[in-house]
Structure 1
Amino acid sequence: MPNSRQNKRTRAHYIHRLSYSAQEKLAGSFVLIAVVLLVWLLLSSQKTQNLFEEEITLYATMSSIQAVNKDTDVIISGLNIGSVTDVDIDDDNHVVITMSILKKYQKLIRTDSTAELLDFKFALLGKSVIEISVGSPQLPVIEDGSTLAIKESFNLVQLVAKFEPVLVTLQDSIRKINDILQAIDPQKIGDNLSNLDSISSDLKIITQQIRQGKGVAGNAIFNQDMQDDVVATTANLKQLTEQTRGILEQTRLLLISLQQQIDEMPELTDKVKPLLDEADKTIKATQKIWPLSSSIPKENKQTLTSPEATE
């Protein structure tokens, strides 16, 4: 036992058994590994990949900042092309955003390109993004230092303001429904439900009677004799309808013929009038022949009023 305790006291850590130069080499190895890892992390980082790339500066103006900061990314067609480098306020109290864009993507941005803030769409990710639209190829490429028209997103304040009338209407509807429910008498509802139950029972009895062939409706559905009568009546009605149609057609033809005869009446009158005139002349001439003139009374020319002028 004393020997084992003595051995434990004299046993040293392996690092102490190394020479001074070996210890320096080991420490230098750890430092070198840490530096290599740090350099690898820097080179693999998204922000340091384009550290030495040439960039251009674009500006955009907004009415409110809407969660835009210096870490806000700028994308085009889903590709990260830059970021916001500065946010400032101009003399007109507008928010001026400075964006640093990689020059190699400048050809995608034309004079008709616009920017849109997508903070509402990326709300679940807890970040805001500025998206620039791809411009028309036939238009010139945007120049360094130009200002883009930016479309501000639909923020929460605007959302609440838009739905406020709907919420007011909904609240008013709920209040009216509450008033209606308070005005309802539970006793009357119970009585109405009882009446509905009675009506349902009566309808059930009536339906059973109809199925059994009782009553007028039951006989009309299940009585063969009544069905035959209905069929015969329908056939007679069809025949009567056809006869009525024939009578109406004959009446129409008769009216047409009568109208034609009425139309011929003026022409017939014109033909008879000369004959009547000739007969009148003959009668007048006959009155002048003796002995007929003495037997035919003379024409009475007396008038109702005196032809003399009245004073």
Structure 2
Amino acid sequence: MRNDNKKTVLVGVFVLIGIIILVAGIMTLGGQQKKFVKSISLKAVFDDVAGLQTGNNVWFSGVKIGTVKKIHFYGDSQVEIEMNVESKSKDYIRKDSKATISSDGLIGNKIIVIYGGTSQAPVVENGDRLVSEMPLDTDKMMETLQENNNNLVSITNDLKVLTGKIAEGEGIIGAVLTDSTLAMNFRNMMVSLEKTAVKSNQMANDLAKLSANLNQEGNLVHDLLTDKEIYGNLQKSIVDLQSTADNAKEMTSNLNAVTNKLNSTDNAVGTLLNDAEFNNTLKSTMVNIDSSTMNLNRGLEALEYTWPFRRGFKRMNRANN
């Protein structure tokens, strides 16, 4: 009988311990799932939940504030997420806050992250729907990383081939690195370039000295650049030279016109200079005039000895003597 009581007590103790463990587990799970705290319901609609499940956590500013309550289809092909969020945290969540899907660590469970919101917007209320923002697609990210890895391998192979050719002396770079003659020529070219640089520097210094000398007072160039009176006189001289050039041009035009007229036969001078027939006629006329003048002189001399005029000439000779 005593043994039976002892067994009964032991069974009771184990049952009590089991009940305590069960209650503690329920309380723990309920605490994690926010089952025993006052909460509000918030919603968000996504095109793809990327494996999110009921019971996954909801985070805000790095703090767990709730869990995913329901997941169901919405509209044609979207998914609506209903979340239980602690009432005490709603004062920090604004109506213009956004919800996105993230991961709890690199390969952890999917979670809902609430972020953003401005102080000008009112706080959320039970049943509000937050603006959703699609997260980065990890599959596409992995595909991009894989493609980048393939490209990196291809680049590495190309570099391997290129460095091998350079080491074997192929191409210009390989020849420069392996051919001593080219290296010597390159060294000589660098020496020539250095000499050229020295000469260029010296020429620049000479130009600087020349510029400094030209900027000294009393120098013609300095006076031309700074003296307004000299500049005015120079400008006036240029104007006078321009006027002289214009006059010379006009005179040249007039001389050309006169020359053209002298070369033409439509005027007296031009006829005298250019008409051969007229010249011959004029020469003949001059010869005839000369002959007539000689005949006239002879006639006048003979007239002195004719008896009607003899007495008159004698009187004229006496008067002259």
TM class, shorter-length:
0.5 to 0.7
Q: Give the root-mean-square deviation of aligned CA atoms.
A: 4.9
Deviates more, 1:125-134 or 1:174-183: 174-183
Q: Deviations over 1:202-256 (max 9, x none)?
A: 88xx9xxxxxxxxxx9xxxxxxxxxxxx9xxx99x96998499665448847786
Q: Which residue of 1 aligns with 2:124?
A: 142
Q: Which residue of 2 aligns with 1:72?
A: 56
Normalising by structure 1, we get a TM-score of: 0.52
Q: Deviations over 1:152-182 (max 9, x none)?
A: 2101233256668867866775676577568
Residue 98 of structure 2 contacts residue 115 of structure 2 at CA under 8 Å; is this kept in 1? yes
Q: Which residue of 2 aligns with 1:27?
A: 11
**In the alignment, is residue 108 of structure 1 matched against residue 100 of structure 2?**
no
Partner residue of 2:65 out of 66, 81, 104: 81
**Identical-pair percentage:** 21
Q: Which residue of 2 aligns with 1:56?
A: 40
Partner residue of 1:158 out of 127, 135, 140: 140
Report SS of the residue matched to 1:95: strand
Relative contact order: is structure 1 or structure 2 higher (C-alpha 8 Å, sep ≥ 6)? 1
Distance, in Å, in 2 between the alignment partners of 1:251 and 1:91 is 89
Distance, in Å, in 2 between the alignment partners of 1:142 and 1:38 is 36
Mapping of residues 205-284 of structure 1, within 5 Å:
242=213, 248-249=220-221, 252=224
Going from structure 1 to structure 2, the CA distance change for 1:197 and 1:262 (only over 3 Å counts) comes to: closer
Going from structure 1 to structure 2, the CA distance change for 1:199 and 1:250 (only over 3 Å counts) comes to: closer
Letter in 2 for 1:53: V
Residue 107 of structure 1 contacts residue 141 of structure 1 at CA under 8 Å; is this kept in 2? yes
Letter in 1 for 2:48: S
Letter in 1 for 2:95: T
Going from structure 1 to structure 2, the CA distance change for 1:81 and 1:241 (only over 3 Å counts) comes to: closer
Normalising by structure 2, we get a TM-score of: 0.51
Letter in 1 for 2:141: L
Q: Deviations over 1:114-151 (max 9, x none)?
A: 112122xx342511211123644543343433322211
Q: Which residue of 2 aligns with 1:131?
A: 113
Residue 97 of structure 2 contacts residue 114 of structure 2 at CA under 8 Å; is this kept in 1? yes
Q: Deviations over 1:35-74 (max 9, x none)?
A: 3343334334463684333333322211112121113111
Going from structure 1 to structure 2, the CA distance change for 1:192 and 1:36 (only over 3 Å counts) comes to: closer
Deviates more, 1:33-42 or 1:168-177: 168-177
Distance, in Å, in 2 between the alignment partners of 1:78 and 1:89 is 28
Going from structure 1 to structure 2, the CA distance change for 1:35 and 1:196 (only over 3 Å counts) comes to: farther
Q: Which residue of 1 aligns with 2:269?
A: 304
Deviates more, 1:106-115 or 1:150-159: 106-115
Residue 169 of structure 2 contacts residue 178 of structure 2 at CA under 8 Å; is this kept in 1? no
What is the CA distance between 1:198 and its match in structure 2?
6.7
Q: Deviations over 1:11-39 (max 9, x none)?
A: xxxxx9x6432343233233323333433
Residue 76 of structure 1 contacts residue 134 of structure 1 at CA under 8 Å; is this kept in 2? no
Residue 74 of structure 1 contacts residue 84 of structure 1 at CA under 8 Å; is this kept in 2? yes
**In the alignment, is residue 193 of structure 1 matched against residue 178 of structure 2?**
yes
Q: Deviations over 1:61-117 (max 9, x none)?
A: 111121211131112222222211222223411122222223343333332121121
Report SS of the residue matched to 2:122: coil
Q: What is the count of residue pairs matched by the alignment? A: 225
Going from structure 1 to structure 2, the CA distance change for 1:77 and 1:255 (only over 3 Å counts) comes to: closer
